[in-house]
Amino acid sequence: MNIIVCIKQVPDTQDIRINPETNTLMREGVQSIVNPFDMYAIEEALRIKEKLGGKVTIISMGPEQATEALREAVSMGADEIVLMTDRAFAGADTWVTSYTLAKGIEKLGKYDLIICGKQAIDGDTAQVGPGIAAQLDIPQVTYVKKTEEIKEGSARFERMTEEGYEIIETPLPCLITVVKEINIPRLPSLKGKIRAKQAPVVKLTAKDINAEADKLGLKGSPTVVDKIFAPQKRTGGQILQGETQEVVNKLVDAVKDIIIASGKT
Amino acid sequence: MDYLLTEEQVMIRDLARKIAVEKIAPVAAEYDEKEEFPWPIIKILAEADLCGVYIEEKYGGMGGGAMELCLVTEELSRACGGIAISFAATALGTYPIILFGNDAQKQKYLPDIASGKRLAAFGLTEAGAGSDAGAIATTARKEGDHYILNGTKQWITNGGEAEVYTVVAMTDRAKGARGASTFIVEKGTPGFDFGKKEKKLGIRASATRELVFNECKVPKENLLGREGMGFIVAMHTFDKSRPGVAAQAVGIAQGALDHAVKYSRERKQFGKPISGFQGIQFMLADMATELEAARALTYAVARMVDSGAKDVAKESAMAKLFASDTAMKVTTDAVQVLGGYGYMRDYPVEKYMRDAKITQIYEGTNQIQRSIIAMELIKERLR
């Protein structure tokens, strides 16, 4: 089993601040972490490898600093790490990111399974995983919460839906995105951490992946950010007090007022 | 304070801290309440390669020593002294093998202990022999290729849960202290049984049981060192392991101080957080200062042990004495800072106070530590 896991380094959202002038994220002094959903992807890859043998390769597109995130994956047990870094990649939207990662994956050679987290916690788009599958023209199963079976040439997954779940059988190679229900990611081990420190990083630049230059980075991105704004903070609601009957009456009146105000009577 | 740890020591400390914060702190109160042995946590420590930090690489460990053992014990104790001692007591049971085992004994036992597959325990104390180890009544008589053990060990940490026991028994009672020997006894050996699990004031996640030997047949290859070396084995073991108890005490005190500082900033009286009152500030300042002094002494002694220094009895005793007395004081003051809340089981600090008490008692009471220190001082004058 050759498994590729795509990860992203993101700012730790437990410590988030927005610049009130520009409405952009303040990144100075904010800790970087592996996107939490990608941790489930790494764990699932390691579990499949432990069961079936093979190799887990972690790939990330980002600045030099993203190497830290890749090394963390090695401390958990990943075999190889690949960093796609180039000025030409900067400013990519989800379309271009999918294209670039797909090109990088093609460059790595034969693979059986690609695993991504369902989305990154900074952009929250959930588009890059499916985008890579589309670029590579392989099947995709999103929101996977359980790996049911993996055999020679095919696999079966449980996919979470809003109402329940679907069981999907797919030929390999394929791409899956995983949700947090799928596993509990392991902690790194000491031997893993020592190995991670020395692990060689394979670096891929725009030149290495035979990409069309005008399809990369900000230039290739069809997405235009028109405006960024911070949503208004929620003000605490109104709390009704008194006898039950009285409170219910007040509540009904309040709802009526809202409906009338909205003009949808 | 910066203790100039090596890169690997920082890794070890950070990993132990991560486990303490993410995996131990959330369950510490539950284990204390249920008095259950923390096997799931032991498994996590094993997977993280922390069980073998003080064991040679040749035998599957990480190649560290007392300092690495102290760093892990301290970090785990910061979350739960009871869970931490299940880890540290294995080191106590393993040291006799590390210090006095031959290569065959090391090959046989250390790799499984280093990987966390098996826990160890040390069996010295008996009902009638605590500080006075010369009064040991457990006997080992030689019969052909075996020793036959008879007697009962009391209050053995990890008793029943560990699989490898290093046990001190008398091979020649007539010689008194020089007639004791140390044996490796495996769980499951016929004639080796366990007594009831003790109910304790603190460190309640740890298991404390009697070891009962009744015509227990141990192969002669399991003798550590030579016959008659039992006390030397025990004393050298304690010299190396006492910084570990000191580290446990430092960790417990740090955990209690963390809670006290946090609470003092949240608790408001007379219209402001109590951290704004000098009465509280001075308490916190004293707690932190004494704790740092205890940590500095503990690390200094651990490093002295690791340097290969021949005689560390006095320094080891000092670290254990000072750190455990400090832990008792700091945890008692932490309860005081939290006032009525501190006395309630719903808040974690009363547990730290209960857990701290044992560090003044085991691996030699603090009165015995003072005797060791005084004896060494007097001996030094005679030289």
User: CATH number of the domain that B333 lies in?
Assistant: 1.20.140.10
Angle between helices B230-266 and B278-306 (to 10 degrees): 150
Confidence (pLDDT) at A193 = 94
Confidence (pLDDT) at A173 = 96
Q: Which of B211, B230, B249 is the last residue of a domain?
A: B230
Q: Do B62 and A190 touch (CB under 8 A)?
A: yes
Angstroms from A54 CA to nearest CA on chain B? 21
A194 contacts chain B (CB < 8 A): yes
A193 contacts chain B (CB < 8 A): yes
B44 contacts chain A (CB < 8 A): yes
B34 contacts chain A (CB < 8 A): no
Q: Is the predicted pLDDT of residue A245 greater than 70, yes or no?
A: yes
Range A159-170 average pLDDT: 95
Question: Domain check: are B358 and B249 in the same one?
Answer: yes
Question: Domain check: are B249 and B226 in the same one?
Answer: no
User: Which is higher by pLDDT, A264 or B52?
Assistant: B52
Q: Is the predicted pLDDT of residue A19 greater than 90, yes or no?
A: no
Question: Domain check: are B32 and B86 in the same one?
Answer: yes
Range A147-164 average pLDDT: 94
Predicted complex ipTM = 0.81
Nearest by CB to A190, from B7, B11, B23: name it.
B11
pLDDT by residue (tens digit) across B100-126?
A: 999 999 999 999 999 999 999 999 999
> Are residues B96 and B233 in contact, defined by beta-carbon separation less than 8 angstroms?
yes
Range A188-199 average pLDDT: 93
In a domain? residue B283: yes
| Phi, psi of B251, deg, nearest 5 | -65, -45
Question: Domain check: are B226 and B237 in the same one?
Answer: no
C-alpha span between B32 and A100 (Å, rounded): 53
**Residues of B assigned a catalytic role:** 363
Q: Do A189 and B47 touch (CB under 8 A)?
A: yes
Number of folded domains that form chain B = 3
> What's the full length of chain A, in residues?
265
Confidence (pLDDT) at A265 = 59
Question: Domain check: are B17 and B57 in the same one?
Answer: yes
A189 contacts chain B (CB < 8 A): yes
pLDDT by residue (tens digit) across A91-115?
A: 889 999 999 999 999 999 999 999 9
Tell me the chain A residues in contact with residue B49 when contact means C-beta distances shorter than 8 Å.
Answer: 189-192
Q: Quick one: pLDDT band at residue A262, thresholds 50, 70, 90?
A: confident
Q: Is the predicted pLDDT of residue A191 greater than 90, yes or no?
A: yes
Provide the b/e sequence for B289-313 (b: ≥16 CB within 10 Å): ebbeebbebbbbbbbbbbeeeeebb
Cα torsion A92, A97, A103, A108 to 10°: value is: 120
Write out residues 52-111 of B within 8 Å (CB-CB) of A. Answer: 53, 62
Q: Is the predicted pLDDT of residue A56 greater than 70, yes or no?
A: yes
Q: What is the pTM of this model?
A: 0.86
Confidence (pLDDT) at A12 = 85
In a domain? residue B25: yes
In a domain? residue B2: no
Closest chain A residue by Cα to residue B22:
A187
Angstroms from A192 CA to nearest CA on chain B? 9
Nearest by CB to B15, from A186, A188, A197: name it.
A188
Question: Domain check: are B298 and B191 in the same one?
Answer: no
In a domain? residue B58: yes
Q: Which of B205, B230, B255 is the last residue of a domain?
A: B230
> What's the full length of chain B, in residues?
383
> Are residues B84 and B35 in contact, defined by beta-carbon separation less than 8 angstroms?
no
Contacts of B22 (CB under 8 A, 6+ apart): A187
Question: Domain check: are B244 and B354 in the same one?
Answer: yes
Question: Domain check: are B268 and B374 in the same one?
Answer: yes
Question: Domain check: are B49 and B31 in the same one?
Answer: yes
Q: Which residue ranges of chain B lie beneath pLDDT 50?
A: none
Pick among B11, B17, B57, B76 to test the A interface (most A CBs inside 10 A): B11
CATH number at residue B194: 2.40.110.10
Question: Domain check: are B259 and B375 in the same one?
Answer: yes
Closest chain A residue by Cα to residue B13:
A190
Question: Domain check: are B139 and B198 in the same one?
Answer: yes
Q: Which of B119, B148, B172 is the last residue of a domain?
A: B119
End-to-end CA distance of chain A: 60
Pick among B6, B12, B15, B41 to test the A interface (most A CBs inside 10 A): B15
Angstroms from B48 CA to nearest CA on chain A? 4
A191 contacts chain B (CB < 8 A): yes
CATH number at residue B90: 1.10.540.10
pLDDT by residue (tens digit) across B336-375?
A: 999 999 999 999 999 999 999 999 999 999 999 999 999 9
In a domain? residue B247: yes
Tell me the chain A residues in contact with residue B62 when contact means C-beta distances shorter than 8 Å.
Answer: 190-191
C-alpha span between B260 and A253 (Å, rounded): 49
Q: Do B12 and A190 touch (CB under 8 A)?
A: yes
Question: Domain check: are B83 and B139 in the same one?
Answer: no
In a domain? residue B1: no
Domain extent, residue B239, equals: 232-382
